[in-house]
Chains A and B, each alone.
Chain A
Amino acid sequence: MESGLTSLFSVSIDFETSHLFFPRIIHWLMGGLFALILVLRVLPFFAAVRRGERTLPILGESMDKYRFFGSLALIAAYFYLMAVVGNLFPYTGYGFLSVSIVFVFLMSLMYMHTRTRRKVVTAAINAVVAPSLAWFILAKLFQITLP
């Protein structure tokens, strides 16, 4: 009996494939949990959606599409252009500095609900000062690499 139990629990791991051993267990665990959640939570939820009691997340909610997708696009462009411009002036951080100024200003404009002259000027000053300050402190004083 004792040896039967031990052999049931015993396991040997082949070194060549040992990198897959733990992930395989995690996959089974994830699969099992997902199935449970599907049955216990997701299906009842969809049923409630069909009855009109609940709404789907993201799709069924009202969202500020302009600002949400605008933020996504702006952030992606920011990351991409930073590297492109940064490669023109390697190891200076100018790519970061110049693209950040444009990005901060555009994002400020996008998040403003009413655009008054005063607000736009504040945003513009902020867009120049904040990245410059960050660039100066980090790249110049602390010698941290920036794109």
Chain B
Amino acid sequence: MLDILSLLDITFFLLAALGALVGIIFGAIPGMTATMAVAVCLPLTYALGLHHGLALLLGLYVGGISGGMVPAVLLNIPGTPSSITTTFDGYPMAQRGEGERALRVCVVASVVGGLVSAAILFLFAPLLAEFSIKFSYVEKFLIILLALTVIASMSRNMLVGIFSGVLGIWLSLIGTYSISDGGNGKTRLMFDFLEPYLFEGFSLLPVLIGIFGIATILLEAEQGVKSGLSGKEIKIGKGGGFSFGIFRGRLTNLVRSSFIGTFVGMLPGVGGSAASVLAYTQEKNLSRDSSEMGKGAPQGLIASESANNALTGGALIPLLSLGIPGDSTTAVLIGAFTLQGIQVGPLFIPENADTWYVMMTALVFANGVMFFLMFYAIKHIAKVVLVPKYILYPIIVMMCVVGAYAINYGIMFDVWTLLIFGVLGYLIQKVGLEVAPLIIGFILGGQAEVYFVKSLESFGGYSIFFTKSPIAVVLWALIAASVTFSVVMGLKSHAKRRLETSQ
């Protein structure tokens, strides 16, 4: 225990606090997300070392998810996708001059959500990891298959979701079938003249930064980079009006939403908006009096914000126990681990106990910093939403370049990868494909291949995927359940639409 304390120096806490602050600023700027904050700040972690780097990144993650509440309440624009439901009640409150009160309710709900999910992460991730250590290639492959079907079933359209995921896998296969994974070291899916550049395939981080950074800029540029905010007036309202009495009788809501957020966060690739929407509708269905919801009721804010902050802990569970990212931000975090030469998976927690405790400390501390910063300095932070985009966007492109270039110690092709995937990310979103499944497919594709081919090579037949162990059967049942769920939901919404058009 003592050697862990020695890892926690002043720099560590300063970095976590700095991360939270920068994250809040990123989250507060509409169009910029926690994922982008983590991706853009990755180059800073090259020189920091693992523990300091993680402190910064986890701070960014917590801050980025929280910051989204600011424009949601003040401008009716969700700063991050997960604060969509915060706008329902936050904006009406701000219109009534209760902006600060609304924000403080959000802050308290956020910190509770964050801490509840951190506690669940702390208790649950080691158990899940211990359980999954025994998994052979067969179960590992099935877990990846399950992850992909869950993502696909959460997409707007399952078919499109699956296709996006498979496309991501395809992109990840470009390059060699690596000898270190037991492959034969030959390249595939490319032309010979590309071999010097693509021998190892596309690097993960430039792909992520391109899709989340450059593509976002291109989408904004297409819309003309509207300043948009100048016409709107920010109504923060007078101080005061907030007391913890607002939370009286709301404890069930708070805890339920935190659990919903954590659980949704655990599902791989399911974004934050699903968590807050689910928590919000549950509060609407289950609370005694939901008549005020949507017109400016604190209970809506509580549900939305505690759920979206609970995502942070939830999304880290599959990352740290299975090596499968729970959302796009944790997908970028995988990159940070790879950078430090650490493989996340079932063995991560037992083999890196120090790092595990350090991460938990950073997570809890970042939540605390986020609370104090936002609770007491919310008036000043609120001004961030007014920073003009023409100042911000060029800086973001520049930081993207730094991140991509430095990742493999100075390879210019990685910078071009940014542009390739920036344009690809733009096109993908334009033609209606889904980014989340594509990214998860890209991250897990390489492993999926190794597990799949190795299973077949050692057992000699496809039937092994069904008969290997009881766990395999359970995993198939879960896969079937997630597919059935999404088919049923799809049919339901189809029938509903048909009913609406016939009326």
Tell me the A residues contacting B by CB distance below 8 Å. 5-6, 9-13, 15-16, 18-23, 26-27, 29-30, 33-34, 36-37, 40-41, 57-58, 63-64, 67-68, 70-72, 75-76, 78-79, 82-83, 96, 100, 103-105, 107-113, 119, 122-123, 126-127, 130-131, 134, 137-138, 141-147
Complex Cα spacing A13 to B461, Å: 10
Out of A29, A122, A131, name the residue touching B391 (CB < 8 Å): A122
Out of A9, A36, A123, A142, name the residue touching B462 (CB < 8 Å): A9
- Identify the closest chain B residue to A127 (Cβ): B394
Complex Cα spacing A67 to B390, Å: 12
- Residues of chain B within 8 A (CB-CB) of A137 are 44
Per the 8 Å Cβ criterion, residues 183-226 of B in contact with A are 183-189, 214, 217-218, 221-226
Q: Is the pair A6, B461 in contact by a Cβ cutoff of 8 Å?
A: yes
- Main secondary structure, interface of B, reads helix
| B280 smallest CB distance to A (angstroms) | 29
Residue B405 interfacial (CB < 8 Å): yes
Q: A64-B221, A123-B390 are in contact. Are A138 and B183 (CB under 8 A)?
A: no
Q: Is the pair A63, B222 in contact by a Cβ cutoff of 8 Å?
A: yes
Tell me the B residues contacting A by CB distance below 8 Å. 43-44, 46-47, 157, 159-160, 162-163, 166-167, 169-170, 173, 176-177, 183-189, 214, 217-218, 221-227, 388-391, 393-395, 397-399, 401-402, 405-406, 409-410, 412, 415-416, 418-419, 422-423, 427, 430-432, 448-449, 452-453, 456-457, 460-463
Q: Is the pair B397, A107 in contact by a Cβ cutoff of 8 Å?
A: yes
- Identify the closest chain A residue to B405 (Cβ): A147
Q: Is the pair B398, A36 in contact by a Cβ cutoff of 8 Å?
A: no
Q: A64-B222, A79-B419, A131-B398 are in contact. Are A22 and B393 (CB under 8 A)?
A: no
Q: Is the pair B452, A22 in contact by a Cβ cutoff of 8 Å?
A: yes
- For B160, B167, B222, the residue with the greatest tally of chain A CB atoms inside 10 Å of its CB is B222
Q: A9-B462, A107-B397, A111-B393 are in contact. Are A26 and B47 (CB under 8 A)?
A: no
| A49 smallest CB distance to B (angstroms) | 13
Complex Cα spacing A68 to B217, Å: 9
Q: Is the pair A29, B166 in contact by a Cβ cutoff of 8 Å?
A: yes
- Residues of chain A within 8 A (CB-CB) of B402 are 96, 134, 138, 144, 146
Q: Is the pair B394, A108 in contact by a Cβ cutoff of 8 Å?
A: yes
Complex Cα spacing A71 to B394, Å: 10
Q: A68-B222, A78-B397 are in contact. Are A19 and B166 (CB under 8 A)?
A: no
| B214 smallest CB distance to A (angstroms) | 7
